[in-house]
Amino acid sequence: MKFDTPAGANPIDRMAVVGRAHDRIDGPLKTTGRAPYAYEHHREAPNAAYGQVVGAAVAKGMVRSMDLDAARAAPGVLAIVTAADLGKLGFGQFGKGKFNTVKLLGGPAVDHYHQALAIVVAETFEQARAAANLVRIDYTRSQGRFDLDEALKTAPLTGGSSDEGSAAPGMDRVGDFEAAFAAAPVTLDARYTTPDHSHAMMEPFASIASWTGDALTLWTSNQMIAWGHGDLAKTLGMPKDKISFQSAYVGGGFGGKLFLRTDAVMAALGAKAAGRPVKVALPRPLIANNTTHRPATRQRIRIGATKDGTITAIAHESGSGDQPNGSPETAVNQTKLLYAGANRLTAMRLAVLDLPEGNAMRAPGEAPGMMALEVAMDEMAEKLGMDPVAFRVKNDTQVDPEKPTRRFSQRQLVRCLTEGADRFGWTRRNPKPAAVRDGRWLVGMGVASAFRNHINMASGARVRLDGRGVVTVETDMTDIGTGSYTIIAQTAAEMMGVPVDAVVVRLGNSAYPVSAGSGGQFGAANATAGVYAACVKLRDQVAQRLGYNSADVAFAGGKVTSGNRSADLAQAAAAGELVAQDKIEFGDLEKQWQLSTFGAHFVEVGVDAYTGATRLRRMLAVCAAGRIINPKSARSQVIGAMTMGVGSALMEELAVDPRFGLFVNHDLATYEVPVHADIPHQDVVFLDEADDKANPMKAKGVGELGLCGVGAAVANAIYNATGVRIRDYPITLDKHLEKLPAVA
């Protein structure tokens, strides 16, 4: 199905099932332990051995020698695989996939700390771990580049894309920024920093590999089946049709599992060498240093405005680092679109670093970019003597400010800000910093806009109707804890006129039609649109089988009706199962219209006047993101994103050891993330919206919108509470304690 004109009225508009709150249909399986995650396919892969990955102990250098004798002689050891063994295992064409920046098996060259150099396979996990510790590697260490500030001094302008909706060229200009900034009566020139972040998902990177002859089955934890399937085939030098790539349930990914990672490759190599299934789970230190992370940024924002608050000049420059051939963190993307201003400049620089690979993490680009931009907007509002909400509203735009002939398909930012302000009691905010106290607490409120682009991606599905009236959906879409099973069931139920419990959903298997996958908040809208397309075909088949006119056929209550004729849906498949397959493909509508999502975040904090400790008191998110398919799971997505934003604002930071090039706080004991005690009441409001320019579902995404701007709203609230402006995240108490107002 080609989507190239705005969606008209269609069966989804009935919203008998879609748009209503539904419990997660996978919830009972997960709460009773019957949903098998990647490491738990014991029935399909019996008698599995255990693999332990050996990571490099240097960040840059060469392997001079590797002594495996003691490890091979250790109890229970079945096999050890290094890069030197690939040829004899039949992987002479072993290579690097399309999506990872560095190779997933190192040697003799080492590209970063904890790069995989070997896998040790043994009968038990404990034996594999013990034997891996007996591997002795002698290195020649090289000088590494680990200092982002130093490397950015000579870093070139570099454009890039997150591959999931956030992109910008190395430099982009509209008008004459420098002249307009110099002429502006009110200006701001400020610098902000964000640190490296870890995904810290609950389920580790984990895989089980099993060979049958020259065919491989891999159960893994991955967000994008088609990407991982293709990259595994390319890495191993195998035909794709010889690999079954499966990921039915994923315990969190946040972008870290968009791509093929070491656990999958090493499980496949270990299983080949051991001649039996092998399971691999990366320990936490390797999750931080072996896989990917959100790169640190150094950002400069300049804003010039007239005295009435009209922005006349805006510039956003960002620098980040990555491995050679990597991409920048696209932190300037939202500044190209969020506010009006005739004279504009955005620029990105990319430094080459020898730290572990930087790549997509939830809302790549916008998440750290808005942590800076939305603080700068508050700082500018203060210079102008304007309310921060009013300043943002004044500089709203209904057109792409770089391409004024291109309108937004839907843009309800002003409603998000104004209605959010009303709900939150913004008028009670004292604009004078450090003016409100509640006992020992300094109390403040903060606001930030929310923005995230919507991206259209082709997405396919196959639907089946059997003689019982049961509809089965098959697509390689994944559920990473977001509710994909449920919204896909809702879509099929709405289209075929059956209840949700009459729909069976099968996900996460490379044997199923290729979907958009889970990432960039594009998954829900595109995957359900693909199911919509397949169901349109199935509806036609049902009408033909029943001899009805497909132009006026209606599906509701398990029945099919055309004129004065009616039959049970199941009757259409009485003579045999009906099967339909299709995908949604997109034309040029997104070139004519800017497809984006908008929101506003409001936060109230208390800062202890004696200790400087920050406590969240209230949080509100107001979101405008197209049709919300399942408000219940969408709310869960947003409050989870808000929680992640609190972490970015107050505690999350991968600490770089500048001597040895590793992240030293590489576990959940030392890399702090928010816990229940850190999070107050969170309120989420969805504005009514149906975007007919987006897809037949008229839906967009919301999971990353809920994160974008949260860190800045927290930072702005802390400033309002204390009068101390901190521009270097995370905002830990040591950064403002000495500057807090006197307690006596």
pTM for the full predicted model: 0.98
Rounded Cα gap, residues 450 and 330, in angstroms: 16
- Give the position of tokens 């975040």: 601
Sheet of 593-594, strand order: 399-400, 403-408, 593-594
Q: Are strands 311-322 and 343-352 parallel, antiparallel or unpaired?
A: parallel
Structure tokens at 337: 């679109």
pLDDT value, residue 256: 97
pLDDT value, residue 321: 98
Phi, psi of 106 (to 5 degrees): -90, 175
Burial 206-225 (b: 16+ CB within 10 A, else e): bbbbbbeeeebbbbbbbbbb
Q: Which value, in Å, is the radius of gyration of the alpha carbons in the chain?
A: 27
Phi, psi of 389 (to 5 degrees): -70, -45
Q: Which stretches of the chain drop beneath a pLDDT of 70?
A: 744
Residues in CB range of 637: below 8 A, 6 or more apart: 482, 483, 702, 703, 706
Q: How many CB atoms lie within 10 A of CB 574?
A: 12
Q: How many CB atoms lie within 10 A of CB 734?
A: 8
Q: Which residues are designated catalytic?
A: 704
Rounded Cα gap, residues 151 and 177, in angstroms: 26
Structure tokens at 301: 């924002």
Question: What SS3 class is residue 448?
Answer: strand
> Do the Cβ atoms of 132 and 52 come closer than 8 Å?
yes
DSSP class per residue in 39-108: GG-TTTSTT-EEEEEEEPSSSSEEEEEEE-HHHHTSTTEEEEEEGGGTTTTT-TT----SS-SS-SS--S
Structure tokens at 568: 């049970």
Angle at 676 between CA 704 and CA 284, to 5 degrees: 70
Q: Are strands 441-453 and 596-608 parallel, antiparallel or unpaired?
A: antiparallel
Q: Which of 476, 474, 547 is nearest to 504 (CA)?
A: 474
Structure tokens at 45: 């892969």
pLDDT value, residue 685: 98
Question: What SS3 class is residue 599?
Answer: strand
> Do the Cβ atoms of 460 and 582 come closer than 8 Å?
yes
The structural domains of the chain, ordered by start, are: 2-35+456-588 (3.30.365.10)
Rounded Cα gap, residues 74 and 80, in angstroms: 11
Phi, psi of 157 (to 5 degrees): -65, 130
Structure tokens at 725: 């402006």
For the stretch 238-258, pLDDT in tens is 999 999 999 999 999 999 999
Rounded Cα gap, residues 387 and 658, in angstroms: 42
For the stretch 254-284, pLDDT in tens is 999 999 999 999 999 999 999 999 999 999 9
Q: Which of 221, 286, 295 is nearest to 667 (CA)?
A: 286
